[in-house]
Amino acid sequence: MVVVRVGVSIIGLFAALIGLVWIGQGTGIFPYPASSFMINQSPWILRGAILLVAGLAIVWAARRFLR
């Protein structure tokens, strides 16, 4: 069960990290790559925030329920 908890936690952390990158690109703080269609596009801020919260919820659920 520990392997499952660690695996699900890693997936959640990866999702949260991707959410942060999307927020950074949507706000223009992280303009990489320069040709990205996501730079300075406000829908990606919301999508990134949703993915960030979902990733953190996955990590929380893995730590709480997978014992």
Could you tell me if 55 and 33 are in contact, meaning their C-beta atoms sit under 8 angstroms apart?
no
Whole-number Å distance between alpha carbons of 28 and 50: 18
Taking the whole predicted model, whether its pTM rises above 0.85 is answered as yes
pLDDT value of position 57:
97
| Averaged pLDDT, groups of 10, the chain, 67 residues long | 93 98 94 89 96 97 88
48 contacts: CB under 8 Å, gap ≥ 6: 18, 19, 20, 21, 22, 23, 24, 25, 26
pLDDT value of position 63:
92
pLDDT value of position 32:
85
pLDDT value of position 1:
84
12: its two tokens: 């959640």
